[in-house]
Amino acid sequence: MRAFLALLAATLRQLLGGRRIIPLALMGLLPAVVVAALVAQERTAVGARQVFHDAPITILFFIVLPVASLVFGASALGDERRDGTLSFILLRPLPRSLLAGAKLLGAWLATLAVTGTGAVIMSVVLGLRFSDWETLGPLLLAVALTSLSYVSVFLVLGYLTQRAVLIGLVYAFIWESGMTTAVTSLATLSLMRIGLSAYAGLVPASRVYLADLLGAVHPGAGGAVAKTVVIAVLAVASVAGLLRYRDVA
CB 115 within 8 A of CB 66: no
| Reduced DSSP (H G I as helix, E B as strand, rest coil) percent helix, strand, coil of the chain, to 5 | 85, 0, 15
- Integer CA distances (angstroms), 3 to 95, 117, 119, 142, 247, in order: 10, 28, 32, 30, 19
Residue 33, CB half-sphere, CA atoms under 13 Å: how many? Answer: 7
CB 113 within 8 A of CB 27: no
Q: Is the pLDDT of residue 197 over 60?
A: yes
φ/ψ of residue 152, rounded to 5: -60, -45
Q: What is the pTM of this model?
A: 0.94
C-alpha 72/C-alpha 61 separation (Å) is 16
Q: Is the pLDDT of residue 247 over 70?
A: no
> Model confidence over 54-76: pLDDT tens digits?
999 999 999 999 999 999 999 99
Confidence bin at 248 (pLDDT 50/70/90) = low
Nearest-CA neighbor of 155 among 227, 102, 196, 229? 102
C-alpha 88/C-alpha 142 separation (Å) is 36
Mean pLDDT of the chain: 91
Q: Is the pLDDT of residue 185 over 80?
A: no
C-alpha 94/C-alpha 134 separation (Å) is 43
- pLDDT of res. 165: 87
**Element housing 80 (H / E):** helix 65-83
Confidence bin at 184 (pLDDT 50/70/90) = confident
Nearest-CA neighbor of 58 among 92, 35, 24, 26? 35
- Integer CA distances (angstroms), 91 to 83, 126, 181, in order: 16, 50, 45
